[in-house]
Amino acid sequence: MGRLRYSRPMFLFALSFVANIALTFSVAWAIRRDGTVIEEAYGPDSPARRILACVYVAIGLVSLYGFLQLGYGRTDIAIAVALTLFPLQIIYKVLTAIVVGFRNPVVIANLGVVWLLGATLLFAPY
């Protein structure tokens, strides 16, 4: 297997994929562990919360796929993944803010991700 590489213009895509991977897997793991902070942010353990963890894992896996494609020089595939996944995430995170409110810590974190993904879509070359 060759060494992973990406061009400098693809840095924002790589950063967004890595942020997605790190955040989604860590949050899914935390939801599974069911600590006090998680219960305060996401509510008590329930099937809905476990489904949400699965959605996070799916986003993380798709991001990992996009990152690997980017690393192997298949930027067209990585960009196609990003142009599908990132707008979907932006839409659901903004809708969550509208429905839940802007004081929830999950919403605040989600809006940070929206900023990164939005900047990637606006400023990264494709």
Average pLDDT over all residues of the chain: 92
- Per-residue pLDDT reduced to its tens digit, 8-64: 678 999 999 999 999 999 999 999 988 888 988 888 999 999 999 999 999 999 999
- Per-residue pLDDT reduced to its tens digit, 74-107: 999 999 999 999 999 999 999 999 999 999 999 9
Q: Say what the pTM is.
A: 0.90
Q: What is the full DSSP assignment across the chain?
A: -PPPB--GGGHHHHHHHHHHHHHHHHHHHHHHHT-HHHHHHH-S--HHHHHHHHHHHHHHHHHHHHHHHHHBT-HHHHHHHHHHHHHHHHHHHHHHHHHH-TTSHHHHHHHHHHHHHHHHHHHS--
Task: Give the start-to-end residue ranges of the domains of the chain.
Answer: 9-123
